[in-house]
Structure 1
Amino acid sequence: MIASYKAILASLLAAMTVAQGVAAESHTVRFTNKCGRGTPTLRNQQGKVLSTGGDFKSNGPLIGAIAYLQTGNCGANGEGCTLIETTLRNPTTPGSGSSSDISLIPPHKFSVASGFKYFNGCDGQGADCKDQNCKTAFHKPTDTNVQVACQTNDAGLNIIFCD
């Protein structure tokens, strides 16, 4: 009797573990560098480098990450370069999901054509900035209309340079 109880309990725990794994939040940031130079760089809020060109997968939300193409002219936080800002998270209430944008707010400035597109949800939605006067980037903090939201679970982001 105890052996069968233990077997049933073990089966239930295994099923719960599998169910939790299926429901776990996950986001991927991918880079496409068409410039033929530079190093795509992804950093988290604490300044830790998460990727220098390879896919980065977060197991859970990715909050306040920044990305830029390090051409030798960018500061550690993308100063002097075109900056992509992103928060990737599953929405828990309407409007609380992912949001990404391009920033040229000083000390950031146009360096290379940069853009992003969501995938695995909100496919194709994004923005491109091909010159210093693009209307799809923040030029001042009040340019909030340039943020691109995605309200889909597990959305990924492809960051594209020189497209």
Structure 2
Amino acid sequence: MFSFFKFTALVVVAATIEARAQEAHTVTFTNLCGTGVPTLKANGVTLSTGGPFTSSGALISAIAYLDVGCGANGEGCTTVETTLVNPTTPGSGSSTDISLIPPHSFSVTTGFGYSNGCDGSGADCTDANCPTAFHVSTDTNVQVACQVDNVNLVITFCD
């Protein structure tokens, strides 16, 4: 009987580890502007210049923007900031927002939406005064959360 319980415990642990190892999130772009290069970066490293990017694990503190003459980290442009991570406790999952906090500024209509979970949740920014974007660091009410494993993100420009 001891070996049965030990075996069951090992199976549960292995299944938990396997589930965490399979975490993945895909960021895709739709550029309807006819110009510019969709760019996705994390920690200063360019992850995508327009094609879909799939993380093998959590995607932490990434930024995306349509490069229409922006600085190296989206300065002078509208940015989407995101962390895509499977929740481990209530409220610890993914969060995405649009930022116009200087040195970022409105450049093109930008929006995002989750897919593969939390479908319909997202935000759009159509002008420099959009209420769905961070303008100062205390605008935390504009963050859009998603508490679903392996959620994806679709970012659209000029829609």
TM-score bucket of the superposed structures, by smaller chain: 0.7 to 0.9
Identity within the alignment, %: 68
From 31, 34, 47, the equivalent of 1:33 is 31
Distance 1:120 1:104, change over 3 A: same
Distance 1:148 1:22, change over 3 A: closer
Instruction: State the SS of the aligned residue for 1:66.
Output: strand
Task: Show the counterpart of 1:113.
Answer: 109
Show structure 2 runs of 5+ residues with no match. Answer: 1-13
Task: Show the counterpart of 1:20.
Answer: 18
Residue 20 of structure 1 deviates from its aligned partner by 2.5
Runs of at least 4 residues off by over 4 Å: none
Structure 2 residue 45 is matched with structure 1 residue 48: yes
Show structure 1 runs of 5+ residues with no match. Answer: 1-15
From 97, 100, 103, the equivalent of 1:104 is 100
2: distance between equivalents of 1:56 and 1:117? Answer: 15
Structure 2 residue 90 is matched with structure 1 residue 94: yes
Asked whether the equivalents of residues 39 and 49 of structure 2 are also in contact (C-alpha less than 8 Å), the reply is yes
2: distance between equivalents of 1:21 and 1:83? Answer: 31
Q: How does 1:50-65 map to 2 (within 5 A)?
A: 50-65=47-62
Residue 124 of structure 1 deviates from its aligned partner by 1.6
Q: Map Cα deviations across residues 59-99 of structure 1 (whole Å, 9 max, x no partner).
A: 10000000000012x00000000010000000000000000
